[in-house]
Structure 1
């Protein structure tokens, strides 16, 4: 009997985090008897052998070209090599994944909904229309237009790409004099396609979950810690967030209702928000898993959870766990942000990375390499993710282990 076939669009990103996510996703597919077919960029396939070698087949396909990816998938079907489910772990592959699912009549989110939520301005507008508090958001195509927004509103403001992830190009503008620097921080492709939003003062969280039968199920709420402005790079996570039960329920209800309004119905979700003095303000909505080793924290904190496997089971009409599930344990992640310069040596890494409570350990720089300034998520020097009995213990242990790692950096000369 031919096993059900899963198409994994985008494969693994070349960074250690992306590989770890893809490996977990493929392992959970194989454990369910699925044949896994992976497509991705040729250079990524060559750099992600740990994931590629677990798949049954891997082929170079430009998944960022949705039309080409759909054509490839349809051609496979005509040859009798079709798929029973389609999934992605990557933000950039969401449009192609949705269009392949639609073309092959497989479960998935509609392309229109994916396009809506990936356009941050459009998603804000849709949520605001439905009555959800949102930061004031202005789509700008020039520096002059952005300056007019600042002149006609009260700061601080946030300048960010209209489409993107990983805090790339996001920065705080405290006064109009800071606008040129923020615009210069945008990636080149966003120089004429960006947002200026009002800054929200509050405690930031994200909500992680999956869909079952089209309905959202919250798995956990994550507390976030960020490096000081002007950038918005996440430094730490604690899961589950230590919230009083009434506030936790309010956050969960707000997010699940927002997902219904937007029309998301399949896969995983990661929704960012702020808890302010005036209530809950929704941030960005993603039809994917959160980054920063949240997949490892969830797998430790929610007993028996196989989030990718449950998405596959839902796609194939198989039984999935009934009823809500909470966290019986906790996890925390801490990222390293040493000063920029030339790295001489790292002290204490082996001891920290091999602590028995460590769920994942990543060191992104080696002696002799240049440590970059931490102005976006990809610039961080590494991370430790740990598991513990409760959130307080998890956060304290992550801090303790991270503080035991010291980066000997030769400072850069200042012009």
Structure 2
């Protein structure tokens, strides 16, 4: 009798809505590795996620994914079914859990303390404080009074943020003490969001006025820079991304240096990281806005793949299963992801023009945000969750790619009808 073959298994703790989990799973399957997803409530996951993983024959198991001990116990049980070669998460809220469990099991992965530091804007800022020029002026505040005092010290405008949320949730530019007080009080009342406890504190930061970029990092090295297209204040919604960013010379060197200093200061030097930066008003310096100990969201990895052939999900998974990722990258095109917004408040009646958008020259992807479908009711909350759909397009340069993406976006027609909030909200 032939010996029984045990599968090699990689466990993911939850999965985001941006497709990174599915992309990672596809690569692992190509390598003969079995992906398995742990989720707090598999039945409550977005239908698109469940469908995609089912199509890939990827199992989703129930587990208390907010508990390191519960995930660790589940992984030890899984290890009895095969060779457990990796534990990770590509979802912001669970990266620290994945890193901690991998470390306890002696598996490859980032430093759990560094990833945990990225999960709190307070600890992230403190970790970078020893390297001059990375942080804007900042103060962590436990009351509206403290926040107003910090804002007065820095000078208006300032930016007020919750410590441990993502997607620009409750991040606001404030031009007065009253605005600082209002958003601080609102953040301190949140309590819980998407099953995550929200620390009743804020960080008040100096407002950095220049253009915004992100650095896509693997193993402490910047692969490339992404230009961000952002909304008007007081919100900080990311309306689009352009890769590679059209920067060169001294400005490019500045952004690369700052990003690599940031991940080194925090200790995120294994695997992927996503560093957001803004230039100062004169464009001669930059400050780090945020460091994420994970692969970029918002389909930025797909932009990298379209323009260079390099798949950042594959780089991450290669390192996770013991390989050495090739960090060379050469771009000969530009790609753009362009986001379309939901109505401020309304019921979605119909979505038209998808086929027309998909058929346009240079368009690679037209995708509705999971849950966006006729019959849904939505009320905008000033975060990246307000985006209804995205279009990815490529071109010879920034202008051509952006023009194609926006033209395809104009083909998408969302029909919204008024909604009375007294009817209830979904």
Task: Provide the TM-score with structure 2 as the length reference.
Answer: 0.87
Deviation of 1:113 (Å)? 1.2
- Cα distance in 2 between the residues matched to 1:107 and 1:171: 37
Contact 1:219–1:326 under 8 Å retained in 2: no
Aligned-pair CA distance for 1:232:
0.7
On the 8 A contact 1:22/1:51 being kept in 2, the answer is no
Q: Deviation of residue 354 (structure 1)?
A: 3.7
Mapped contact 2:295–2:312 kept (Cα < 8 A):
no
Show the counterpart of 2:362.
357
Aligned-partner Cα distance in 1 for 2:137–2:324? 42
Q: Partner residue of 1:378?
A: 385
Which residue does the alignment assign to 1:106? 107
Q: Are 1:198 and 2:206 an aligned pair? A: yes
Give the drift of 1:414: 11
Q: Which deviates the most, 198-207 or 126-135?
A: 126-135
CA 33–368 in structure 1, closer or farther in 2 if over 3 Å, else same: closer
Q: Could you say which residue in structure 1 is the equivalent of 2:399?
A: 392
- Tell me the secondary structure at the aligned position of residue 264 of structure 1: coil
Distance 1:96 1:398, change over 3 A: same
1:346/1:317 CA distance change after superposition, 3 Å: closer
How many Å separate the matches in 2 of 1:253 and 1:2?
Answer: 45
1:281 pairs with one of 270, 287, 295: 287
Which whole-Å deviations, capped at 9, do the CAs of 1:243-272 have from their partners, x for residues lacking one?
123322332232123212221132211100
The answer to whether the 8 A contact 1:142-1:191 is kept is: no
Q: Report the number of matched residues.
A: 403
Task: Determine helix, strand or coil for the equivalent of 2:173.
Answer: strand
Question: Match of 1:34?
Answer: 33
Task: Work out whether residues 268 and 289 of structure 1, in 8 Å CA contact, stay in contact via their aligned partners in 2.
Answer: yes
- In the alignment, structure 1 segments of 5+ residues that lack a partner are none
Any idea what the Cα deviations from partners look like across 1:144-170, whole Å, max 9, x if unmatched? 222222343311111111011101111
Cα RMSD for the two superposed structures: 2.5
Secondary structure at the counterpart of residue 129 of structure 1: coil
**In structure 2, do the counterparts of structure 1 residues 101 and 221 end up closer, same or farther at CA, with 3 Å as the change threshold?**
same
Where does residue 334 of structure 1 map in the other structure? Answer: 338
Give the drift of 1:298: 1.4
Tell me if structure 2 keeps the 8 A contact 1:141–1:191. Answer: no
Aligned counterparts of 1:317 and 1:412: Cα–Cα separation in 2:
53
CA distance in 2, matches of 1:132, 1:150: 20
Measured in 2, the distance between the counterparts of 1:273 and 1:376 equals: 19
SS of residue in 1 equivalent to 2:139: strand
Q: 2:253 aligns with which of 224, 249, 260?
A: 249
Following TM superposition, by how much is the alpha carbon of 1:372 offset from its aligned partner in structure 2, in angstroms? Answer: 2.6
Aligned to 1:401: 408
1:196-245 CA-to-partner distances (Å, cap 9, x unmatched) read 1111111000011322xxxx232221111111111111111111111123
SS of 1:107 mapped into structure 2:
coil
Q: Verify the 8 A CA contact 1:340 1:411 in the aligned structure 2.
A: no
Tell me the distance in 1 between the aligned counterparts of 2:148 and 2:287. 25
Deviation at 1:286, TM superposition (A): 0.5
The 2-side partners of 1:44 and 1:296 are apart by 26
Q: Which one of 64, 67, 89 corresponds to residue 65 of structure 1? A: 67
- Determine whether 1:293 maps to 2:299: yes
Structure 2, gaps ≥5 residues long: 192-197
Q: How does 1:121-136 map to 2 (within 5 A)?
A: 121-136=122-137
